[in-house]
């Protein structure tokens, strides 16, 4: 217990890094995922094929493999990144297909009449998607999207596992070496720090789901 | 292919689509070419770099890694399913402390990273590396499976449980004979996607030092020098993608089969009972 209290600043540092890593990756993967979703529903076959291929390939690759590629293979063949931007890149690449699929199913859930009405007004595909369909799909997409970001929070722990980022899991790896007797307390502290993010976020999903259900 | 989002393309739209396809293809080809040129300039495409892949011993070693991955995943899947069922049953116990405890266990372990649980198993509980990897996978996935089953039971029509109680079944019988089998059936696609997630998560064993596929790929890269890092990585990634893709196909197949038979079953039930059911709460519930 004392070991945890003594190292509160370290915990705080890890917590902040985990949170920052998660938020940055959430933002990037939201942009990437939306573009991918637009590709997958677009009228241009090449874009559709690209979107589908990317989603199928990346969704089936374990995150550890993505991290390994970004950290150890990319510097040899393309360019090296610092650990933190590298981690954001790996997490965003990995999360974007999941975001894409959530948004795509949200788009598919919008009543057909909406897009038909937009088209009958003469709107192009881009206009239909960005001004009519996507804004309406936000509400239904929000709960599953938060679920994806909860998974992202937990996934960010991989960055601390041998990929040179010091976040919460990094704290869990470092401290037991210095205080072997307090190992349970130390790990419980890290677990608690994760739960502080994931459990309230899970509650938020429940609230959002109920709201969506009422509004429909 | 038609979609509601755009009209069946006319001549102008087809021309535009062709132009964009061409532009897109040129960009993709350009990027690939640039990457290949870059790889070639680093000597990564030289035959020597890829020659280790001609060695059958290398493949044996990599496949041993894959086997280690599959072994841990298979054992963890069985144990996680069993423990998940137990947790799902305990969550419906008649004793409120038991219910409360099971719910707390599910909430806590669902909210933790799998690596942390593996790490806990290895360094705090004193398990072997293999046991630690399986422990992490089992604890996390059991919590998720319990939650999936709970959602599946919640999605069943109320009449199912009520009818079972009405004919005098015990609480446990209602659950094990009537509710759980139906919940498993509607949630089967979600359960299979969760097993894909579990298989992918086995690669987290790399972090705690389990000699699985990625670790074996790295060892090979270290043995043959950094030129072999790319080939070994490509092979490991390709093996993972192939296995996961096949499991994913299975999930899609089950979903199709489930939804066709399930849909007729639902409409029959609706016709008989005049109620609506919310079966098939969705395959989106898997947690990666």
Which is more confident, B175 or A77?
B175
Architecture of domain A2-215: Orthogonal Bundle (1.10)
- So what's the ipTM on this one? 0.89
Contacts of residue B124 in chain A, CB cutoff 8 Å? 176, 183-184, 187
Which is more confident, B287 or A69?
A69
Model confidence at B270, in pLDDT bands (50, 70, 90)?
very low
Q: What is the mean pLDDT of residues B121-127?
A: 90
Count CA within 13 A, CB hemisphere, residue B188: 15
What number of C-beta contacts closer than 8 Å exist between A and B? 164
Least-confidence region, from B23-37, B85-99, B118-132 = B23-37
Whole-number pLDDT of residue B271: 43
Is the pLDDT reported for residue B2 higher than 80?
A: no
CA-wise closest residue to B119 among A87, A186, A130, A59: A186
Model confidence at A119, in pLDDT bands (50, 70, 90)?
confident
Closest-CA distance, A144 to chain B, in angstroms, reads 8
Is the pLDDT reported for residue B263 higher than 50?
A: no
Contacts of residue A44 in chain B, CB cutoff 8 Å? 17, 20-21, 24
pLDDT digits (tens, 9 = 90+) for A154-194: 999 999 888 889 999 999 998 888 888 888 999 999 999 99
Fold of B72-210: MetI-like fold (1.10.3720)
What is the domain partition of chain A in residue ranges? 2-215
CA-wise closest residue to B217 among B76, B105, B46, B65: B65
Closest-CA distance, A140 to chain B, in angstroms, reads 13
Token pair listed for B211: 């000699």
- B2: closest chain A residue by CA: A43
CB distance B124–A184 less than 8 Å?
A: yes
Is the pLDDT reported for residue B104 higher than 60?
A: yes
Mutation site for A-interface testing, chosen from B113, B125, B135, B249 by largest number of A Cβ within 10 Å: B113
Closest-CA distance, B199 to chain A, in angstroms, reads 9
Is the pLDDT reported for residue B179 higher than 60?
A: yes
Contacts of residue A151 in chain B, CB cutoff 8 Å? 287-288
Count CA within 13 A, CB hemisphere, residue B275: 10
CB distance A46–B116 less than 8 Å?
A: no
Is the pLDDT reported for residue A76 higher than 60?
A: yes
From the CB of residue B198, how many other CB atoms can be counted at a distance below 10 Å?
Answer: 25
CB B42 within 8 A of CB A76: yes
Question: H-type helices in chain B, by residue range?
Answer: 11-41, 47-50, 56-90, 96-110, 114-119, 129-154, 158-166, 171-173, 180-201, 205-208, 213-224, 229-273
Label each residue of A116-129 as H, E or C.
Answer: HHHHHCCCCHHHHH
Model confidence at A88, in pLDDT bands (50, 70, 90)?
very high
Is the Cβ of B116 closer than 8 Å to some Cβ of chain A? Answer: yes
What is the domain partition of chain B in residue ranges? 72-210, 212-257
Phi, psi of A43 (to 5 degrees): -75, -15
CB distance A62–B116 less than 8 Å?
A: no
Is the Cβ of B7 closer than 8 Å to some Cβ of chain A? Answer: yes
Contacts of residue B24 in chain A, CB cutoff 8 Å? 44, 46-47, 50
Model confidence at B287, in pLDDT bands (50, 70, 90)?
low
Whole-number pLDDT of residue B283: 40
Closest-CA distance, B3 to chain A, in angstroms, reads 8
Contacts of residue A202 in chain B, CB cutoff 8 Å? 107, 110-111
Is the Cβ of B31 closer than 8 Å to some Cβ of chain A? Answer: no
pTM of the model: 0.86
Residues 6+ apart with CB under 8 A from A126: none
CB A18 within 8 A of CB A168: yes
Q: How far is CA B238 from CA A69, A126, A176, B193, B203, in A?
A: 13, 35, 36, 19, 14
């Amino acid at each position: 217990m004392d070991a945890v209290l003594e190292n509160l600043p370290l915990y705080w540092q890890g917590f902040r890094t985990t949170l920052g890593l998660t938020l940055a990756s959430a933002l990037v993967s939201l942009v990437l995922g939306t573009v991918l979703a637009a590709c997958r529903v677009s009228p241009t076959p090449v874009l559709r094929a690209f979107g589908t291929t990317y989603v199928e390939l990346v969704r089936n690759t374990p995150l550890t493999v993505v991290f390994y590629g970004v950290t150890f293979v990319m510097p040899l063949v393309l360019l090296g990144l610092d650990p933190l931007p590298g981690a954001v890149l790996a997490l965003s690449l990995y999360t974007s297909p999941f975001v894409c699929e959530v948004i795509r199913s949200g788009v598919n859930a919008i009543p057909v009449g909406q897009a038909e009405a937009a088209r009958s007004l003469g709107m192009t595909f881009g206009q239909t998607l960005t001004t009519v369909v996507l804004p309406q799909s936000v509400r239904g997409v929000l709960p599953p999207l938060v679920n994806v970001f909860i998974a992202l929070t937990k996934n960010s722990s991989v960055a601390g596992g041998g990929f040179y980022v010091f976040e919460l899991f990094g704290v869990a790896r470092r401290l037991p070496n210095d205080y072997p007797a307090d190992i349970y307390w130390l790990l419980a502290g890290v677990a608690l720090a994760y739960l502080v993010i994931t459990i309230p976020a899970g509650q938020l999903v429940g609230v959002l789901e109920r709201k969506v259900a009422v509004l429909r | 292919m038609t979609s509601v989002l755009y009209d069946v393309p006319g001549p102008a739209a087809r021309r535009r689509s062709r132009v964009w396809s061409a532009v897109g293809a040129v960009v993709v080809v350009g990027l690939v070419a640039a990457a290949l040129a870059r790889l070639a300039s680093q000597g990564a495409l030289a035959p020597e770099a890829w020659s280790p892949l001609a060695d059958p011993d290398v493949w044996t070693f990599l496949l041993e890694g894959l086997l280690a991955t599959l072994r841990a995943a298979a054992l963890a899947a069985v144990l996680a399913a069993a423990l998940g069922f137990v947790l799902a049953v305990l969550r419906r116990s008649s004793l409120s402390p038991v219910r409360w405890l099971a719910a707390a266990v599910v909430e806590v372990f669902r909210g933790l990273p799998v690596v942390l649980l593996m790490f806990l198993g290895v360094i705090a509980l004193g398990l072997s590396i293999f046991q630690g990897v399986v422990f992490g996978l089992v604890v996390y996935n059991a919590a998720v499976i319990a939650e999936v089953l709970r959602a599946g039971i919640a999605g069943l029509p109320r009449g199912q449980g009520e009818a079972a109680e009405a004919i005098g079944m015990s609480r446990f019988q209602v659950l094990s004979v009537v509710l759980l089998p139906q919940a498993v059936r509607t949630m089967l696609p979600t359960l299979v996607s969760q097993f894909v997630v579990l298989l992918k998560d086995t690669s987290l064993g790399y972090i705690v030092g389990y000699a699985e596929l990625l670790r074996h790929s790295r060892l090979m890269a270290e043995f043959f020098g950094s030129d072999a890092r790319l080939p070994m990585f490509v092979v490991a990634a390709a093996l993972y993608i192939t296995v996961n893709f096949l499991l994913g196909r299975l999930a899609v197949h089950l979903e199709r089969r489930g939804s066709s038979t399930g849909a007729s079953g639902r409409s029959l039930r609706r016709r008989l009972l005049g109620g609506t059911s919310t079966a098939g709460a969705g395959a989106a519930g898997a947690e990666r």
